[in-house]
Each structure stands twice: as structure tokens, then as C-alpha cells.
Amino acid sequence: MCGRYANTCGTEELNARFDVGWVETAPPHYNIAPGQQVAIVREGERAGDGAEAKRELAFVRWGLIPSWAKDPAIGHRLINARAETLGEKPAFRNAWRRHHCLIPATAFYEWQGAAGHKQPWCVAMADNSPFGMAGLWERWRDPAGEVLETCTIITTDANALLSPIHDRMPLIIAPENYAAWLNSANPHAEKLVQPYPPERMRAWRVSMRVNTASHDDPACMDDVEDGT
């Protein structure tokens, strides 16, 4: 699964990597946890008759709430979606067909080992560049008519770098495939579901500091010898 990640992208980085035009400056986050507001990139409204939709940056809650849900607490259990069953699970079926997104990140965390002493690892691109995790987003309306937008991160089998640490990893979309992924009607989107090349990534041990969601600073990503 993917239960924590970092997004330290500045405005210029977001513009250059995801082609979303001007975006509001947001502070860097080093330890993003479920339930928090996160940035996603998605197709915006179409400009007119058949005009191509422009990308937009939106801020939504991490933990997908299906449009049909009665209780928003279901979002706590839907922070990740397995790529293999997106079209089968009722919770994700509509979003898989209609609402693809990218979730900008600069790193994500995984935990290795048995319960009681799991070692946290930080994983990033080998060149430290920002990347887009595949996601789905959804719109939910409460009984009072208020609209809440939420998202989930799609996971796939771990690649050779991650498999000694965890058996799952976020589905990472290569920049040249962003347009293909964001087009929810693309019949070939399933072909993009595959582990990211391990040679383009790196991983290092970090301290138990990242276990506490209130810790949100560069120290969460510091390389440590023994993870203590």
C-alpha cells in the first residue's frame, strides 16, 4: 500500500512537470497522511464544442468516498485502490471509468518488517525529480448538499527495488503517458498499469519520526544508518 508520501514541489516545478499553468503556491509537505487535503492533477472543463480539456490542479481529501456512500467514514478504508480490480470493485468502478487523476509527489514511504518494529523507507526518483502517482477522484454530496471531493492512490506489484521492502507500490505514470492516463475514456489505460522501472528510482532508510503524522519537516526524509 501507500500510506504516506511527500510533495515538496514548488509552483514552477508543478507547472513544468504537469503542465497545469498557474497554480496557487502551496507549502512543501514531507509527511502527507490519509485524511489530509492533497493536490491532484486532472482534466478540467472543456473550453467549448469539442475543444480539448485543459489540466487543472485541485485540492481534495485523501481517502475516496464513492458518490453513493451513506457514511463518509468509508474514505478511511479507501486510501489505496488495487490496480488489478479497479473495474470490479463498486467503490472504484465509477471513478475508474470517469475520474482519473495524477497525484504529484517527490517521494513516498513504505515500511519493512514484522509488526512491532517496522523499518520506514523513503523512495524517490533517482534524480530526485517530482513524479505523478496514478489516482482516482470522486465527488460526494452530504445530506445538506455540501460537496466533498476525495481521491485514492492506485497501487500495483512492487518492482525489484521495492519488493524486498513491501509487495506493493504506487502506480507511477511516466511523464510521456500523463495525457493517456488523464483521459479516463482511453481504452488503453490498462496498459499503463505496470511497476515503474526500478533503475529510475532509489530508496533509503529513514527514522521512526515519519510514523507520526504531525511530523512534517525535512527530517522525515533524512537518510539514517539504522532507522532509529
pLDDT 10s digits, 78-122: 999 999 999 899 999 999 999 999 999 999 999 998 777 899 999
Of 1-15, 43-57, 91-105, the poorest mean pLDDT is in 43-57
Pseudo-torsion of CA 25, 182, 30, 107, nearest 10°? Answer: -140
> In three state form, how does the secondary structure of 9-70 look?
CCHHHHHHHHCCCCCCCCCCEEEECCCCEEEEEEECCCCCCCCCCCEEEEEEEECCCCCCCC
Residue 25 pLDDT > 90, yes or no? Answer: no
Residue that the C-alpha cell 482516482 belongs to = 136
What DSSP designation does 158 have? -
Collect all residues with Cβ–Cβ distance below 8 Å to 36 and sequence separation of at least 6.
61, 62
Count other Cβ atoms within 10 Å, centred on residue 28: 13
Residue 48 pLDDT > 60, yes or no? Answer: no
| Domains with residue ranges and CATH for the chain | 4-203 (3.90.1680.10)
The arithmetic mean of pLDDT across residues 183-206, rounded, is: 94
> Active-site residue numbers?
2, 110
CA quadruple 203, 207, 208, 214: dihedral sign: negative
- Give the global pTM: 0.93
